[in-house]
Amino acid sequence: MKTTIIASLNDGVNQFNELISNLDQTAFETNYNNKWSAGQDLVHLIKVLKIVNIGFTLPKPLLHLMYGVNKNEARSFQLLQTLYKNALEGGAKSPAIYIPKPVLFESKNHLIQKHATLNQLFVDKLNKHSAIELDRYRLPHPILGKVTLGELASFTSFHTLHHLELLQSKLFR
């Protein structure tokens, strides 16, 4: 499971960053249909990875104390994806801390590098957890509630792919 998640994380970030790297200033900065610009999507993903990286560094006793431990079977990638998409369709929105301000084209290359670096840090942190730990310890998710570390890693993977699909639909409509 961990190997699949890591491959998906890396693939999603690489695809997203490749798409972003090929954008000109107009495509990078334009808000299509009152949606985030490509630069804002990138900053949003960076903000998410920063928080996820922090969560994955918290000591396990603290995670246990603050969020309890999972006593159920871990939810599948597909189930989490369905729950998330249903929540979005039901009106769930990104919390304010994850909402990006306008992003200038001049910051594009720096942000792409930052996104790749934060993803690698996350993969490194993920690799330090055993499969048992990934299924046992939990963190809060603003839309999905308490999720296991493994579920959060799966979410992070499909969240990047979700934003890649949104960006592609905005740019290539």
Could you say which residues of the chain have pLDDT below 50? none
Helix, strand, coil in percent for the chain, rounding step 5: 70, 5, 25
Domains and CATH numbers, the chain: 2-171 (1.20.120.450)
Sign of the dihedral through C-alpha 78, 138, 101, 109 = negative
Q: Let me know how many helices (H) and strands (E) the chain has, helices first.
A: 8, 2
Cα(15)–Cα(12) distance, integer angstroms: 5
The rounded percent of the chain whose pLDDT value lies above 90 is 86
109-145: pLDDT as tens digits: 999 999 999 999 999 999 999 999 999 999 999 999 9
Note the pTM of the prediction, 2 decimals.
0.94
